[in-house]
């Protein structure tokens, strides 16, 4: 089965359409057709996603917990929810009491042991914070083999030590 990242594809197409529209190269009926297409394909507006996941298939048939409910965590959560093959069991953040999301509850990190998951994705970019989160996860009993992080540069989910889960 061929896997296409519709979110990233639609974002790139929308950027191209905007450029064409600025140059008045798209007429009203073409814009209506394009808008109709995206309203049927996307449940998340492409413009609302900034951080894309290029390799979501490595999470297929996995239960995923996420640590970090900032912009990257929210974007990753929205994308992972696109796939029936990925079950997101929760999103955790130390500032859980300050973050209110319309589509899920952000939980306290200390609740991690109460959830069953195969992968904990850290969606924080700051290296020091990632290190602290890894230490906290270890103290909570999360195996290092289960910990992954979102790499903002490559837009991939990376497992350490450079091992793809399940192989």
- Give the pLDDT confidence score for residue 161 in this predicted structure: 47
Q: CA of 113: how far to CAs of 9, 43, 110, 133, 160, in Å? A: 36, 31, 7, 14, 21
Establish whether the linkage from the previous residue to 164 is cis, with ω within 30° of 0.
no
Give the model's pLDDT for residue 42.
40
Per-residue pLDDT, 49: 62
Rounded distance between C-alpha atoms, residue 69 and residue 81, angstroms: 15
Helix axes 6-22, 28-41, angle to 10 degrees: 160
Positions of the chain with pLDDT lower than 70, given as ranges: 1-50, 160-167
Output the pLDDT for position 68.
Answer: 94
CA distance 50 to 44: 12
- Residue 62 CA to residue 44 CA, distance in Å, equals 22
* pLDDT tens profile 25-66: 555 545 555 554 444 444 444 445 667 777 788 889 999 999
């Amino acid at each position: 089965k061929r896997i296409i990242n519709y979110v990233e594809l639609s974002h790139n197409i929308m950027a191209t359409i905007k450029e064409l529209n600025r140059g008045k190269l798209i007429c009203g009926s073409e814009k209506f057709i394009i808008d109709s297409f995206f309203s049927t394909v996307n449940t998340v507006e492409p413009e609302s996603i900034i951080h894309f996941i290029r390799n979501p298939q490595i999470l297929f048939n996995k239960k995923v917990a996420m640590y970090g409910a900032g912009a990257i965590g929210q974007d990753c959560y929205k994308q992972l929810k696109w796939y029936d093959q990925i079950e997101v069991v929760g999103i955790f953040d130390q500032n859980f009491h300050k973050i209110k999301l319309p589509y899920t509850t952000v939980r306290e990190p200390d609740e991690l042991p109460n959830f069953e998951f195969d992968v904990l994705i850290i969606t924080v970019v700051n290296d020091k914070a990632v290190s602290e989160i890894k230490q906290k996860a270890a103290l909570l009993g999360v195996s290092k083999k289960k910990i992954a992080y979102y790499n903002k540069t490559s837009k991939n989910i990376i497992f350490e030590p450079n091992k793809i889960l399940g192989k």
